[in-house]
Amino acid sequence: MAATNRYFPRINTFALPTALLDNTLTALRTEGEFCVESLVFWGGAVADGVAVVTHVFVPKGPGVYKHQLQVRINEQVIAALCGELDPPRLVLLGQVHTHMEAAFHSPSDDRFSLDTPGYVSIVIPEFARGNVSAKDEWAFYECEGDGRFRTIEAKERARRFLITPDGAVTVHDVRA
């Protein structure tokens, strides 16, 4: 498990409302149109080792670069995203993005992802053509700091990422 720091407590479990997964896939599909990579961020709160994910942040407009093999956002969009947060009530917990084919964490993903120990990065194959129940095909990673991400294997994923049938989810467009 990743190290922690005083700003980001250790997360043992992620509570993911079903609506979060639906909203995440909808946003990724809309933004990528099944032809370029797309990206969303997850936000929520952490208490007693449990992260409850309640927000999907969708970067849009100028400052968002989308290509078949890459999605990047500039500093102004990141600043706007940070302006949406309200620590400790609302912090960034992770990111979800698509790849054209296989789900894996590329060297660019390592280099350009936020570098906070415990932050998760999830990669969905085939520009998110699949459905929520196909999440076994998704690749899950956790930041260890210094640009290093470790794979979260299936057994650990099943224990740490819990799908909950209810829970409010807010979707925010983020523009520079």
Report the alpha-carbon distance of residue 145 to residue 142 in Å, rounded: 9
Evaluate if residue 1 carries a pLDDT over 70: no
Which of 46, 41, 55 has the alpha carbon at shortest distance from 10?
46
pLDDT attached to residue 5: 56
pLDDT attached to residue 132: 60
pLDDT attached to residue 89: 92
Report the alpha-carbon distance of residue 6 to residue 10 in Å, rounded: 10
More confident residue, 112 or 174: 174
Contact 47, 88 (CB under 8 A): no
Rounded mean pLDDT, 120-144: 86
Q: Which CATH architecture has domain 13-174?
A: 3-Layer(aba) Sandwich (3.40)
Percent of the chain's residues with pLDDT above 70: 93
Q: How would residue 45 be classed by pLDDT, with cut points 50, 70 and 90?
A: very high
| Residue 47, CA distances (Å) to 12, 25, 83, 116 in order | 10, 26, 22, 17
Contact 43, 53 (CB under 8 A): yes
Contact 37, 69 (CB under 8 A): yes
Q: What would the pLDDT profile of 85-100 be if each residue is shown by its tens digit?
A: 999 899 999 999 999 9
Structural domain boundaries in the chain: 13-174
Burial class (CB within 10 angstroms; exposed 0-12, middle 13-18, buried 19+) of 44: buried
pLDDT attached to residue 166: 85
Rounded mean pLDDT, 69-83: 94
pLDDT attached to residue 8: 63
Positive/negative CA dihedral, 74, 141, 171, 52 = negative
